Structure 1
Amino acid sequence: MNKKTLIILYFTSLLTFGTVGFYLLGGDTWSWIDSIYMTVITLSTVGYGEVHPLSDAAKIWAILIIIFGVTGLGVLIRTFREEFIQLEQYRKNKMIKNISKLKNHFVICGYGRMGAVIAKELQEKELDFVIIEMNDKKVEKIRSKGMFCVHGDATSEETLSAARVENAAGVAVVLDTDQDNLFVTMSMKTTNPELFILSRCSLEDNKPKLIRAGASKVVNPYTAGGHRMAEILSKPQVEDSISVLSPKHAKMNLTLDEISLKNMVKYEGVLLRDSKIREEYDIMIVGIIKNTGESIINPEPDTVLNTTDTVLLMGEVKNMDRFKAILPS
C-alpha cells in the first residue's frame, strides 16, 4: 500500500471516529450532520465556533482531533513536497535521456540576450539544440518553453559532456565574459576538434585569442551592430543584411542583403539578364519583392526590374561591398 493511500485512509478514519465521538459525547442535541460539521471545522482549524456547547469530554475529544489532524496535515504536505521533487527529478531525467540521444545538434552556452535570440531562431527552424545555463530562474524559463537545457556551468567538462558536445554540429558560445568564452572554446575544441564554434567577444582585441583557442568564427555584437547601423545610415537602400555561416566551411564569407533599388534609375525597366549585376559584381539576385508585396524567389532572366523593387542579393562580402559602393547616398 503506497503512502497516498495510507494518508487517504488516515483522514477518512479520523473523520469517521471524530464524527462518532462528537455524536456520542454531544448527547441528544447533536445530529449526525452537526457531528460531521464539527469534525471538519476542528480538523481544518478554521475556528468557526462550536455547533452546540461542548462538555468537558467533548472538549478533550476536540483537542485530540486537532492534534491528530495537524499531524496528518504535516505528513500530507511533506508527501506532496516529495511527490513534487520526484516529478521534477523524473522530468529532469527524461530530458537528460532525450539529450543523450541527440546527434548533429547545436549547443548554446549562455541564455543572455544573444543566447535567447539564437535559441528562438533555432526553435522556429525546428532544429535540435541544447542550452547550457547555470541561473536557476533562466533554467525554469527555458524548460517552460519546451527547450532542452543542461543546468550547470558551461566551463565544466561534466556539463559539456551532459550537453553531448562531442556529437554536436555546432556551438554558440555567448557567455557574459570573454574569459569564460575563451575557456569554453578551448574545452570544446579539445572535446571535438572538428566542431564548428561560433564565439562572442566584447572586446575586439580578444578576437584573435578566441580564434587561436579554436573558435571557427568570432562575432562582436557591438562592432557588428555598429557597422550594420552605419551602413544602413549611409546607404538607406540597404534594408537588411544577414551573414551566411557554414559549420563545415568556416572560411566561407557570404552575405544575404535586402537592398532597395530606389533612385537607381539605371535598373528601371531593365531585364534581369541585362542588368549585368551577376557579371559585374559576381553576386546573385535570389529574390525580388515588388512594391505590391509580391515575392519572386529565384527570378527568371526575363524578369523586369523597377526602382520600386527590393532585391535579395547573395554573394561574398567583398563583392557585395563593391555593389553597395554604387548605391546613392
Structure 2
Amino acid sequence: MAVRQIRTALLILALVILAGTTGYMLIEGWAFLESFYMTIISITTTGFAEVRPLSPAGRLFTVGVIIAGFSTIAYIGGRAAQLLIESRIFWRRRVNRKIGELQGHYIVCGFGRLGKQIAEELHALNQPFVVIEKDPARIDDIAAAGYLFINGDATQDEVLQTAGIDRAAGLIAVLPSDADNVFATLSAKVLNPRVFVVSRAIEDGTEIKLMRAGADRIVNPYEIGASRMVHMLVRPAVVDFMDIVYHKKGVDLHLEEIAVNENSPLIHKSLAESSIRQTLNIIIVAIFRQDGRFIYNPTSTEKILPGDRLIAIGASDSLASLANLCAQGEK
C-alpha cells in the first residue's frame, strides 16, 4: 500500500515540476533551463536567489509551486518512513516466527569476539541457533551474518523465553562479565533444567559459582589457550590431527558424537555384528553408556545399548549414514 502511495506521489511531484517549468516559461517568458531551475529551488525551498526579478503574477505562481511541491515531498517522506517502519516490523516478526519454530537448537548469549567465533562454528556445523545480544552496535553485524538474533539482555527470563529456552538443547554463556554469565546460567536452568549449559569463566572463583548455578561445563579461555599452545609446542602432530577431525584442515575426516535411539536396529548388537567398521569405514573410538560409564577403545564384542552415545571417527557421509541408522525408529 505504502509503495503504491509513494509511486503516486512521485508522479504528482513530476507533474508539479513540469507544470512549474511550463508556468515560468509562459508567465515570465524564460528559457526552459531557467524555468526548470527556478521550479526546483522553489520546491526544495533551497533559498537561492531568483533567476530574474519576478512579476506579481510570477510571485503568486511561485507561492503555488512551493506549496504544491513541498507538500508532495513531505508526503513522500512520511510514506517512506512508514514503509521503512513496516518493513522492519515485518522482518522482526518473520525472525521471531523462525525462532518460534526452532526445536533442539542452541542459544548463544553474547556476540563479542568469542561469541562471534562460536556462532561461526555452529553455522559451519549446520546447527540451529539464536544469538542474544543487548549491545545495539553489534546487532548490525549479527544481521549481516544472517543469524537469528534477539536484541535483549540474556539474564532476563523473558528474553530467554523468547529465544525458546524451553525447547533448546543447549546454551552458551559468553557475556562480558562473569556475573552476567552466572545469572544467565541460573535463569536458563530455572526455566529449563534439562538444557545443557556451557559457560565462560574469567576470574578465579567463578567456576564454583557457575557450578552452583547449574552450568554443565565451564570454560576458561585463558587456560584452554595456554594448554593448546603448550601442546602445539610439545605435541604438534597431535594438535594437527585434532584440527583435522574438528573440521579445520579441509580434510573429510570428522569426530562426532552420535546418540543411539532405543528402537535403532543396532540395539543389542555387538560392534562386529553391526558391521559399522566394514560397511561404513567408521572407527568407534569410545562409547558413553547411559549410566555414565565410559568405554574407551571398545572391543568388537562390545554391545550397543539404548541411550549409548558413540564417539565415532570417519568421513562426513559415513557419519551421516551412521547417525541415520542410530536414529531409526525415533518418534
If the length of structure 1 is used for normalisation, what is the TM-score?
Answer: 0.67
- Which residue number corresponds to residue 24 of structure 2? 22
1:191-216 C-alpha deviation (Å, 9 max, x unpaired): 11111111111124211221221111
Is the contact between residue 171 and residue 196 of structure 1 (CA under 8 Å) also seen in structure 2? yes
Q: Output aligned runs, 1:35-54, within 5 Å.
A: 35-36=35-36, 38-44=38-44, 54=54
- Which residue number corresponds to residue 69 of structure 1? 69
User: How far did 1:83 drift?
Assistant: 1.4
- Which residue number corresponds to residue 117 of structure 1? 117
Mark the structure with the bigger radius of gyration.
1
User: How far did 1:75 drift?
Assistant: 2.9
1:18-74 C-alpha deviation (Å, 9 max, x unpaired): 245324422xx4467764554345324567876665323213422442344234323
Q: What SS does the aligned partner of 2:108 have?
A: strand
CA distance in 1, matches of 2:236, 2:33: 81
- Which residue number corresponds to residue 138 of structure 1? 138
CA distance in 2, matches of 1:38, 1:53: 11
What amino acid is aligned across from residue 169 of structure 1 in structure 2?
A
1:166-213 C-alpha deviation (Å, 9 max, x unpaired): 111111111111111111111111111111111111124211221221
Identity across matched positions, percent: 33
CA distance in 1, matches of 2:201, 2:85: 39
CA distance in 1, matches of 2:36, 2:236: 79
User: How far did 1:222 drift?
Assistant: 0.8
User: How far did 1:143 drift?
Assistant: 0.9
- Which residue number corresponds to residue 80 of structure 1? 80
CA distance in 1, matches of 2:76, 2:119: 40
Match of 1:11 among 5, 10, 13: 13
CA distance in 1, matches of 2:223, 2:258: 22
Is the contact between residue 10 and residue 76 of structure 2 (CA under 8 Å) also seen in structure 1? no
Q: What SS does the aligned partner of 2:131 have?
A: strand
Note closer, same or farther for the CA distance 1:57–1:86 as it changes in structure 2 (3 Å cut): same
Is the contact between residue 202 and residue 220 of structure 2 (CA under 8 Å) also seen in structure 1? yes
Is the contact between residue 196 and residue 248 of structure 1 (CA under 8 Å) also seen in structure 2? no
1:126-167 C-alpha deviation (Å, 9 max, x unpaired): 211100001112111101111100110001111101100111
Q: What SS does the aligned partner of 1:239 have?
A: helix
- Which residue number corresponds to residue 202 of structure 1? 202
Q: What SS does the aligned partner of 1:181 have?
A: helix
**Structure 1 unpaired stretches of 5+:** 250-277, 285-296, 300-329
CA distance in 1, matches of 2:222, 2:64: 70
Q: What SS does the aligned partner of 1:70 have?
A: helix
CA distance in 1, matches of 2:136, 2:148: 14
What amino acid is aligned across from residue 103 of structure 1 in structure 2?
Q
Q: What SS does the aligned partner of 2:205 have?
A: helix
- Which residue number corresponds to residue 292 of structure 2? none
Q: What SS does the aligned partner of 1:165 have?
A: coil
Is the contact between residue 185 and residue 210 of structure 1 (CA under 8 Å) also seen in structure 2? yes
The number of aligned residues is 255
Q: Output aligned runs, 1:139-218, within 5 Å.
A: 139-218=139-218
**Structure 2 unpaired stretches of 5+:** 247-254, 261-285, 287-295, 299-312, 316-331
What amino acid is aligned across from residue 18 of structure 1 in structure 2?
G
CA distance in 1, matches of 2:258, 2:74: 56
CA distance in 2, matches of 1:35, 1:196: 72
1:250-279 C-alpha deviation (Å, 9 max, x unpaired): xxxxxxxxxxxxxxxxxxxxxxxxxxxx9x
